[in-house]
Chain A
Amino acid sequence: MHIMEGYLPASHAAAYAAASAPFLAHGIYSMRRPMRENPSLRLYYGAAAAFTFVLTALKLPSVTGSSSHATGTGPGTLLFGPTAMTVIAFPVLLFQALLLAHGGITTLGANLFSMGIVGPYAAYLAFLATRSLLGQDIGILLAAFVGDLATYLTTSMELALAFPDPAGGFPASFVKFASIFAITQIPLGVIEAFLTLYLFRFLIRRGDEGLFPTGLLQKREPNRNA
């Protein structure tokens, strides 16, 4: 999902940066108060950042014969909410842009938009939409999967807007990039989803209350038959 340095036209790059900046500022602002009230939250945010740091460094092979990485923003969103994930994704993308030539300064806004904003908010909405109907477990599965896929579809959209197909325009170009990114990502998203559910069932049973500051996840699932 890393769009390479200099590959987005300057006007696009500026537009994504302008779109992402308020989310980042709002995220930082909204994290300050809970952190002051509950200092141990710092550690939990740090753990979520470290988790994303690890996952985005690991290019996993997919059954499609290509490799890509998970983002870990779905699970982070379930714990800390989508606004916090924008703040957590930012240093990860900056590190990769500066030290790994992966992504870039000019494309930082676009990459933050896909990984730090669309992914987490899509995961959040997927969870809210399915939790009450299908239960918390299915909600967790879908949130992790949707968060992953939404990020890569956004990258495809960003590239397709910048490089529309000469014949087919934006739709043809979107299909082309989505078939590169999204198809590889589907099996990886399934991996991330099941792994997330496995870990969360453990966390929900054992974790203390501080781990669930948003109250998105319930320690005890309400009885669905009641």
Chain B
Amino acid sequence: MNKSGKTKFNLGSFLRRSSVPIMFIIICAFCIPLSGLSPSYLINEIVTRMGRNAFLILSLLIPIMAGMGLNFGMTLGAMAGEIGLILASDWQIIGIPGMILAMILSIPISILLGLFCGKILNMAKGREMITSYIMAFFINGVYLFVVLYMMGSVIPIKHNNIKLPRGYGIRNTVSLLSMRQKLDNLIPLTINGVKIPVATFIVIAVLCLFIMWFRRTKLGQDMRAVGQDMEVARDAGINVERTRIISIIMSTILAGIGMIIYLQNMGNIATYSSHSQIGMFCIAALLVGGASVDKASIGNVFLGVILFHLMFIVAPKAGAAITGDSMIGEYFRVFVSYAVITIALIMYETSKRKQKKMGGEALRQAQLEEEKK
């Protein structure tokens, strides 16, 4: 810090912190010309994908703020969103009202799942990410039980185009044709051939404003305090466990709403697989945007969506151009997605150990000085 109180710019630390986005910028700069895709096509795709994914990724910010790391349990919210959409589709509530109803239906399910997840994560402090990751698999089993066996037999499902021919269980794919891109096309705007989903962006902007406002509230400050140091926060009179549970519940609810926005853009639900990879890819996108396990901002979300999805779009074509096989590009993007999560986790663990070591070192120095006196 200098005299005016501003932090001095340190190129080394900036490069270290931004290594992942820089790496992705280099990959994209290399792949874009090879892919042969036109700029207008790329911009169109990026804008569409930003509208589709940004809300989901934003749902990850609150648990990071509360020091719970990357919430792999956002899949739970995605499942709740899917259940809401299945029910709204069966009740033939279409368009924007159908989406709103699905969101309302998903909220209590998300609250219950978030509460459960939060309680479990409180029992596994310091191991939140792996616990939430495994929890997503566990709840997926419950989801399968509900959707595959209870819907149609216990939970009434009227329409045969949703039900499996055996009379119970939901089909592999549920059409959302009656809701398809209704939010995206609510306020139509096309600039130079680029279709802009204005209404979706407004919803995303509202969420961004909410997050910015929330950070300044008492609860938001509590979450930040808990995220920085749980013991200090507890000493300051903050109910740490409750704060952590609330952060997970909020994230789960937002993930459910985000999943509904995501699926309305896609136009159908892959009932048994839509949610399965969503957590992984949202987390990868956030990390690509320069976020870390303990620090993430709204800017990271948007940068991440742009870079990660740009790589998603160009990698198969670039792979095909280089090797003659587009599958290489497919594998490359999958490899990169997992790799970026791994790198982020390693970096987090390394910096944590480094800090611990530095803390220990400082303590040793202090003790030595004490002895000298």
Do A and B pair up? The answer is no
